A and B are shown apart, each in its own frame.
Chain A
Amino acid sequence: MSEEQRKVDQAGVDELYAEAEHWHVNTGGETIHAKRVPGKWRNLKWLGNAVWLIFFLGPYLRWGGRQAVLFDIPERQFHIFGLTVLPQDFWMLSLILLFFALLLAVSTALVGRVWCGFFCFQTVWTDIYTWIEDKLEGNPQQRRKLEKAPLDGRKLRIKLTKHALWLIIAVLTGISFAAWFTDAFVLWGQIATLQASTVVWVVIAMFTAGTYLLAGFMREQACFWLCPYARIQGVMVDKATALPTYDYRRGEPRGRVKKGESETNRTTGDCIDCNQCVAVCPTGVDIRQGQQEGCITCALCLDACDTVMDKLGRDRGLIRYMSLEELEGKQPVPLWKRGRVWVYTGIMSIALAGVAYGISTISSLELKVLHERQPLFVLQSDGSVQNKYTLKILNKTNFDMEVAISAEGLEGMVLVGAEKPVTAHSSNVTATTVFLRVPREELESDSQPVVFHIRNLKNEQFGAERESVFVGPRH
């Protein structure tokens, strides 16, 4: 082996060591104690967190004598303010899901994991839990010290208070979740008197345990190892996606500030290697190594770095929202020139239009007609052919309706069994059996279309129709 080759090998090994340093992945062996630094992005995160107040307070809104938003599973009715959706209208749900799936995709394509960083229940609840921890146990240094300290009265008091508060939030989370599916005020009454159903107790217990464990202990590990969205984000991000990015052109070579060194003749970049960006990171990554799987783009490192830059009198934005293209010195592509934006927006518009169409045409009365198959038709004594139909009248309103049934389509057709109006019960399907009779000589083929109509006798605006077939002997 020549001397020269030896040198090359050494360089390769050094490279591997350097890379290994970057491969540090927090596998939960350590608890991350992130520092909390105030700033613009911190305030935005609070705003994002505040969206979840809807989850806690929403069930107590009332609308027309009942809970404004109530997903009543036993009754199979879904009330959203004035709108009542029955399982029959659930095709709209798929469009809503499509819309939100693409909203996730388009927001990720434009500004990265904005859901993870600002809105996701996992990061929001973790943020609240660590905020409580920060208030009770102090800053990260004090917390680490307390961790190592022997168990004494003070430590016990602090820890018990913390876990009690965590559990209260966890229980409230469970109860709030249950409150969307049953009347919230009744639910509290049942809980207070210990008369809630098993399902309610199980739901609350599961949510309490889940919240307590996930936000209290799993924390960023849930994003690392549990969450599928965190894994698929890679395909949604492209070079034009604006992400919290360390401007290495400005920052490198990083170096500590030397006493007495003037700003004008320093040899280092803007980064002073103070590690504040790492200290505030809730998932424990170093943003200066570039975009990585642990980063949930919460932008808290932006606040930390800006604070430091302010202290030094250097320009803010050493870490800032920036795309890979910008980092490489290219002009960012305007939104309207990006194919993804157009495709995503197109599909989202279609989904929204479908939902809008669904809601505007949602009918209060629906008719289904089931043609009897055994037998398909019956010859009557007067020589006519009789078909039997089961009409299923769905009344989505909250009042009973007197409904008249009629049918048309064939010459000489007689409707039997619908002489009296049928009472269509509210929020229910009412089934009724009717017969159609047609003289045999009027039949032109063995299967001809007929149309059934129903209309409310008191209010003509409620009505529905449905096509079916009239079957006769083979021609």
Chain B
Amino acid sequence: MTDKVFPGESNTGHVWDDNLRELTNDPPRWWTIAFWASVIWWIVYGIIYPTWPVSLEGANKGLLGWTQIQEYQQGVAEIQAVRAEFEDQIKAKSAKEILADPGLTDYTVASAKVLFGDNCAACHAAGGAGNPGFPVLADDNWIYGGSIETIQQSITLGRQGVMTSHGKILSGQEIDALANLAVNLSQGKSDPEGMTLFTQKGCIACHGPEGKGMQVLGSANLTDSIWRFMPGGFESAKYTITHGVNDGTDPQTREAQMPSFKDRLDEAAIKKLAVYVYQLGGGQ
């Protein structure tokens, strides 16, 4: 019927709205070429890459034997080859020797930044800014010593603060006087009466005759402006004297524990962290 209306035209015979009809022309040449090229591509792809599900275990392996994990491992090997030059040096050198080499120090600091974020920043905050109860690493005050070796030792073995709870040993008046002394010492003021009490009550055993602390023991230097337990000042000092640090007999005691990283990180990683922490505040 439609041939009569549209003579010489090959159409499917469907006509809508008087003249709208579907022609049976061949698709354009470019389209046909692209179509068959895609089909060939699909077959070739299916042969050389893992594609067909052959069993419950998975697909065929493909001619190339390509896997995603292989590609990933190649990528990792590539970056490790670039880093190897530095990593080998870090393994071979001591932390002090690393610090002596500016280029190696730059690499170490850059790669330790991630390690610090993963392992240290939870307590010490990003950049070693410190948190209440956790020491600032970016300042010049080192409770256990700021040499690169002691920093490395602190990370490897951890640290455990110790101070006896004095709430039951000293009277309230004495505690107040000693807390006052701590405030005065931190401001550089002299306090002979307090010092006498300090000596009598045996504080000097750990904090030293002048209250400067001993890095071997990890006892705080009372004469500088930095407070180990924030916010610092009279009340803070009074609390510390009363309840002590890590004293099991006092449930309200302050906690001061640095875990050992010996079993968590390898030696190279600890060395990197030591260098990183060392340069945060300039080191000693």
Asked if B224 and A375 make an inter-chain contact with CB atoms under 8 angstroms apart, the answer reads no
Q: Residue B218 at the A interface, CB < 8 A?
A: no
A372 to B137, CA, bound (A): 14
Q: Residue B99 at the A interface, CB < 8 A?
A: no
Would A375 and B221 be within 8 Å (CB), given that A386-B281, A417-B282, A433-B279 are in contact? Answer: no
Q: Which of B129, B140, B188 is in CB contact (< 8 Å) with A380?
A: B140
Would A374 and B126 be within 8 Å (CB), given that A381-B139, A381-B141, A386-B281 are in contact? Answer: yes
Least CB separation from A435: chain B residue: B282
Q: Which of A374, A380, A416 is in CB contact (< 8 Å) with B139?
A: A380
Q: Which of A373, A381, A383, A416 is in CB contact (< 8 Å) with B282?
A: A416
Q: Residue B38 at the A interface, CB < 8 A?
A: no
Q: Residue A3 at the B interface, CB < 8 A?
A: no
A249 to B42, CA, bound (A): 67
Mark each residue of chain B from 102 to 119: 1 if its CB lies under 8 Å from any CB of chain A, else 0: 000010000000000000
Q: Which of B126, B127, B188, B225 is in CB contact (< 8 Å) with A379?
A: B225
Asked if A375 and B130 make an inter-chain contact with CB atoms under 8 angstroms apart, the answer reads yes
A372 to B221, CA, bound (A): 27
Least CB separation from A440: chain B residue: B225
Asked if B225 and A378 make an inter-chain contact with CB atoms under 8 angstroms apart, the answer reads no
Residues of B within 8 A of A417 (CB): 282
Q: Residue B120 at the A interface, CB < 8 A?
A: no
Least CB separation from A432: chain B residue: B102
A374 to B126, CA, bound (A): 6
The bracket for how many chain A residues form the interface is 10 to 19
Q: Residue A411 at the B interface, CB < 8 A?
A: no
Residues of B within 8 A of A373 (CB): 127
Residues of A within 8 A of B226 (CB): 379-381
A445 to B136, CA, bound (A): 23
Would A379 and B139 be within 8 Å (CB), given that A374-B125, A374-B129 are in contact? Answer: yes
Number of B residues whose C-beta is below 8 Å from A?
Answer: 20
Asked if B127 and A375 make an inter-chain contact with CB atoms under 8 angstroms apart, the answer reads yes
Residues of A within 8 A of B197 (CB): none
Asked if B127 and A380 make an inter-chain contact with CB atoms under 8 angstroms apart, the answer reads no
Mark each residue of chain A from 374 to 390: 1 if its CB lies under 8 Å from any CB of chain B, else 0: 11001111110010100
Q: Residue B138 at the A interface, CB < 8 A?
A: yes
Asked if A381 and B224 make an inter-chain contact with CB atoms under 8 angstroms apart, the answer reads yes
Asked if B221 and A381 make an inter-chain contact with CB atoms under 8 angstroms apart, the answer reads yes
Residues of A within 8 A of B224 (CB): 381-383
Asked if A386 and B139 make an inter-chain contact with CB atoms under 8 angstroms apart, the answer reads yes
Asked if B138 and A378 make an inter-chain contact with CB atoms under 8 angstroms apart, the answer reads yes
Would A378 and B281 be within 8 Å (CB), given that A383-B225, A386-B139 are in contact? Answer: yes
User: Nearest-CB distance from B223 to chain A (Å)?
Assistant: 9
Least CB separation from A376: chain B residue: B129
The residue among A380, A388, A431 with the most chain B CB atoms within 10 A of its own CB is A380
Residues of B within 8 A of A382 (CB): 224-225
A157 to B71, CA, bound (A): 52
A378 to B128, CA, bound (A): 10
Asked if B129 and A375 make an inter-chain contact with CB atoms under 8 angstroms apart, the answer reads yes
Docked complex: A48-77 residues within 8 A CB-CB of B? none
Asked if B225 and A388 make an inter-chain contact with CB atoms under 8 angstroms apart, the answer reads no
Residues of B within 8 A of A433 (CB): 279
Residues of A within 8 A of B136 (CB): 375, 378-379
Docked complex: A406-465 residues within 8 A CB-CB of B? 416-417, 431, 433, 435
A218 to B136, CA, bound (A): 70
User: Nearest-CB distance from A322 to chain B (Å)?
Assistant: 46
Residues of A within 8 A of B125 (CB): 374-375
A433 to B281, CA, bound (A): 10
A378 to B136, CA, bound (A): 8
Would A378 and B126 be within 8 Å (CB), given that A386-B281, A417-B282, A433-B279 are in contact? Answer: no
A380 to B282, CA, bound (A): 12
| Interface residue ranges, A against B (CB under 8 Å) | 372-375, 378-383, 386, 388, 416-417, 431, 433, 435
Pairs across A and B, CB under 8 Å, 8 listed: A380-B226, A381-B141, A382-B225, A383-B225, A386-B139, A386-B281, A388-B138, A433-B279
Given known contacts A381-B226, A388-B138, what 19 new A-B pairs fall within 8 Å (CB)?
A373-B127, A374-B126, A374-B129, A375-B127, A375-B129, A375-B130, A375-B136, A378-B136, A379-B225, A380-B139, A380-B140, A380-B141, A381-B140, A381-B221, A382-B225, A383-B224, A386-B138, A386-B139, A435-B282
Q: Which 8 A-B pairs have the closest CB atoms?
A: A374-B127, A381-B224, A375-B129, A383-B225, A374-B126, A378-B139, A381-B141, A378-B138
